[in-house]
Structure 1
Amino acid sequence: MVSDIDVVVSLCKQLSSNIGQVYSKNDDVLHDFAPFIRIYKDGRIERLVGNEIVPATISDPKTGVSSKDVIIVSETGVSARLFLPKITNSSDGKLPLLIYIHGGGFCVETPFSPLYDSYVSSLVAEAKVVAVSIHYRRAPEHPLPIAYDDSWAVIQWIASHSNRNGTESWLNNHADFQRVSIMGDSAGANIAHNMVVRATETPLEGVRFVGLGLIHAFFHEEEPVGPDVSDEEMKAKTTKLWRVMFPTTIGCNDPLINPAACTNLKRLACKRVVVCVAEKDPLIGGPLFYHKTLHKSGWEGEMELMEVQGEGHVFHLFNPTNDKAVAMKTRLASFLNSD
């Protein structure tokens, strides 16, 4: 196992190498997705947010939560930050397991950034769950579908602990593999959904998925189009960011982004789904379409739409003490503890 310090140093070097120079001429910019990322014509990548990282900690003084970093796939650097709540009684039973997947347009942020470290830690403290926050390789250097494959590799690694003899003691000793939930925000919510779809197609021995939490999810918001639609029309119906991060996508008919194109939606391998939306989120159409499509699919699980008025995209990350953010976290904590 790699130590916390080794992981942080490695990530610092990786993140630093990915930050390009700031150019003064607009002609040098190939794609400008400010305030997130700029891609220059010479191939340089400038990440404008999500570059700061914070180290893992043992027994955070604010929450009592401990965290540690582990490398999952040494060849690629795919890794995770694990979280364990304060355990007051050694005889306590196994705790629900949360798999969290961060957002950031598939191209910025990590589980090690202050934004995500703080939020997942606070959710773990409130819900009293064990959590694994996934660090996948990011586009455009590693174009989609790499993030999906990396996330699945971490989930397979997690599942290898269900017989209690895996490589990570926190999972062996404290995680209840019969109460596993997957949750994510924005692009991470998209990945989270697709991980449950993979689990539907390729069940993981010893693992029972009970919940899927989608926070301000990134999805296409229209029915798939027919074969008579031109390539240009297909491109117009798919966001530019998705096209740049996933150059080989088939467009708006891609089941990775369009829930209506997902053939296994009816068989989704979990008991309940919560879809969180924010009134002023410009991406609100996607999760609302997902909720409607899942309802129409004939899926027999429990479904909830959690609506927040007057707030924007991932507001809970930027203003976690907001009353609405606190209320949403409390509801998600309850969701994670459902059987």
Structure 2
Amino acid sequence: MDPAAMEEELVHDFSPFFRIYKEGRVERLMGTEFIPTSVDPKTGVESKDVVVSPEIGLSARLYAPKLHNRNQKLPLLVYFHGGAFCFMSPFCAIYHNYLNNLVHEANVVAVSVDYRKAPEHPLPAAYDDSWTALKWVASHVNGDGPEDWLNFLADLDNVYLGGESAGGNISHHMGLRYGKQKLGGLKLAGIILIHPYFGGNEPIGAEANDLEKIKFTEMLWRLACPETTGRDDPLFNPLADPNWASLENTRFWFVLPKRIFTEIGDGAILRS
């Protein structure tokens, strides 16, 4: 076979999201466009991009609402995008537009983290990058960090973690790390999980009737985390994680219509 043809031999097809070829090339089919920063004409929200860690190429997109009281600091949302750890970014239209609207409606400052993606960078890369981003945020606690928007606009006594799908999974695990390690003066007020990417060997609710979805999500999970122990890996199934106690005083919010969740202490957990 011609070497060029071999390079393009398809080995994993996760359409309509992405494809992987034999020689390792990843063809992402969704969320690849780059939307520039701007002042959003509909909401007045302003955005800009910052480098968090040049050593690993870690960046983030910051959002600030139109200020009506320049002497009042606003709650900070640290947001982690979805995409099964493998695709999407803060810079694509879906997440850029979503964060513009969210920041406007909630009147918060936001940091949307561009963590490295699998399979080129398998887990725990996304977790480590996200923790690095949180440590960067915490470097602004005394008002002398590298980014003025966080120094002057963000209330770091009132910080929320949030994300959808893989980003919900990341938010949960960042909460666990925060509960164990803290972050020099940064105070976590709550965690917002939007259809978090969790699983388990014992499906719950309607998911037990969708074997194809279970198989598909497990394939994606094993691709993102090659060293996983399986569907009951604590990274994938929070109910199997003994570190829940570190979140005992943390509030949770879920955007989970028509889903089943179990209350745990002051918060809740859902497998989806």
Task: State TM-score, norm by structure 1.
Answer: 0.71
- Counterpart of 2:18? 37
What amino acid does structure 1 have at the position aligned with 2:14? F
Residues 142-189 of structure 1 show CA distances to partners (whole Å, capped at 9, x for unaligned) of 111101100100000001101111000000001111111000001110
Match for residue 62 of structure 1 among 42, 54, 62:
42
**Percent identical residues:** 48
- Counterpart of 1:256? 235
- Counterpart of 2:32? 51
Offset at residue 304 of structure 1 (A): 9.4
- Counterpart of 1:240? 219
- Counterpart of 2:60? 80
Aligned mates of 1:182, 1:96 — CA distance in 2: 11
Residues 30-66 of structure 1 show CA distances to partners (whole Å, capped at 9, x for unaligned) of 1111111111112111101111010111x32111111
Secondary structure, in 3 states, of the residue corresponding to 1:143? coil
Q: What does 1:145-156 align with in structure 2 at a 5 Å threshold?
A: 145-156=124-135
Distance 1:114 1:31, change over 3 A: same
Match for residue 95 of structure 1 among 34, 59, 74:
74
Aligned mates of 1:199, 1:117 — CA distance in 2: 26
Offset at residue 270 of structure 1 (A): 5.2
Q: Which runs of 5+ in 1 are unaligned?
A: 1-22, 225-234, 306-312, 314-339
> How many equivalent pairs are there?
257
Secondary structure, in 3 states, of the residue corresponding to 1:264? helix
Distance 1:221 1:250, change over 3 A: closer
Q: Which runs of 5+ in 2 are unaligned?
A: 204-213
Secondary structure, in 3 states, of the residue corresponding to 2:158? strand
- Counterpart of 1:171? 150
Offset at residue 278 of structure 1 (A): 3.7
Offset at residue 108 of structure 1 (A): 0.7
Aligned mates of 1:304, 1:265 — CA distance in 2: 10
Aligned mates of 2:217, 2:26 — CA distance in 1: 23
Q: Contact 1:186/1:215 (CA < 8 Å) preserved in 2?
A: yes
Aligned mates of 2:257, 2:195 — CA distance in 1: 7
Q: Contact 2:200/2:236 (CA < 8 Å) preserved in 1?
A: no
Match for residue 267 of structure 1 among 220, 228, 246:
246
Q: Contact 1:110/1:116 (CA < 8 Å) preserved in 2?
A: yes
Q: What does 1:1-339 align with in structure 2 at a 5 Å threshold?
A: 28-57=9-38, 59-91=39-71, 93-222=72-201, 239-268=218-247, 271-279=250-258, 288=260, 291-292=261-262, 295-296=263-264, 299=265, 301-303=266-268
Offset at residue 201 of structure 1 (A): 1.2
Residues 228-274 of structure 1 show CA distances to partners (whole Å, capped at 9, x for unaligned) of xxxxxxx9797011111111112123211111121121331653101
Aligned mates of 2:148, 2:51 — CA distance in 1: 14
Q: Contact 1:209/1:269 (CA < 8 Å) preserved in 2?
A: no
Secondary structure, in 3 states, of the residue corresponding to 1:151? helix
Q: Contact 1:211/1:270 (CA < 8 Å) preserved in 2?
A: no
Task: State TM-score, norm by structure 2.
Answer: 0.88
Distance 1:120 1:262, change over 3 A: same
Residues 276-307 of structure 1 show CA distances to partners (whole Å, capped at 9, x for unaligned) of 2244xxxx5xxx4xx42xx34xx3x25599xx
Distance 1:172 1:256, change over 3 A: same
* Aligned CA-pair RMSD: 2.5
Q: Which structure carries more strand by proportion?
A: 2
What amino acid does structure 2 have at the position aligned with 1:131? A
Offset at residue 211 of structure 1 (A): 1.2
Give structure 1 regions of 4+ aligned residues with deviation exceeding 6 angstroms.
Answer: 235-238
